[in-house]
């Protein structure tokens, strides 16, 4: 069993500009096939539009609201919304109000798998 406490994980900024806290990933556990992180954006904050060639992602909104865009389709998102981001799909999220969400990636997130236009 592997247990990691949120408050023991140090936040960092990803290549796309989001601040995340890895909860379980390759950096802190013997993870093979997925990663789980908590992300946050201040009101008005934007994650740079990007895609991952290999990783499929889920975002799960836990607080705040924002505009999610996947492959040109935009939708307002709120707490309780779960979003599928297929591997290879261009995506971006903008915070209307301070936004917090969980990010699940399979295979695990890596900076090397983050691509920009």
**Tens digit of pLDDT for each residue in 45-103?**
999 999 999 999 999 999 999 999 999 999 999 999 999 999 999 999 999 999 999 99
Q: Which fold has domain 32-113?
A: Jelly Rolls (2.60.120)
pLDDT tens readout for residues 91-110: 999 999 999 999 999 999 98
Q: How far is the C-alpha of 96 from the C-alpha of 65, rounded, in Å?
A: 6
Q: Quick one: residue 100, left, alpha or beta (phi over 0 = left, psi -120 to 50 = alpha)?
A: beta
* Res. 117: pLDDT tops 90: no
pLDDT above 70: percentage of residues in the chain: 100
User: Is the backbone of residue 103 left (phi > 0), alpha (psi -120 to 50) or beta?
Assistant: beta
End-to-end CA distance of the chain: 40
Band the pLDDT of 44: cuts 50, 70, 90. very high
> For the chain, how many residues are written?
117
Q: Can you say how many angstroms the Cα of residue 39 is from the centroid of all Cα atoms in its chain?
A: 6
**pLDDT surpassing 90 at residue 18:** no
Domain residue limits, the chain:
32-113
């Amino acid at each position: 069993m592997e247990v990691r406490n949120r408050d023991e994980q140090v936040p960092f900024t990803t290549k796309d500009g989001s601040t995340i806290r890895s909860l379980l990933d390759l950096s802190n556990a013997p993870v093979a096939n997925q990663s789980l992180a908590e992300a946050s954006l201040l009101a008005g904050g934007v994650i740079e539009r990007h895609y991952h060639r290999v990783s499929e992602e889920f975002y799960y909104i836990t607080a705040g609201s924002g505009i999610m865009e996947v492959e040109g389709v935009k939708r307002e998102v709120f707490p309780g919304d779960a979003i599928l981001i297929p591997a290879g799909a261009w995506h971006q999220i903008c915070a209307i109000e301070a936004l917090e969400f969980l990010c699940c990636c399979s295979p695990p997130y890596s900076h090397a798998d983050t691509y920009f236009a």
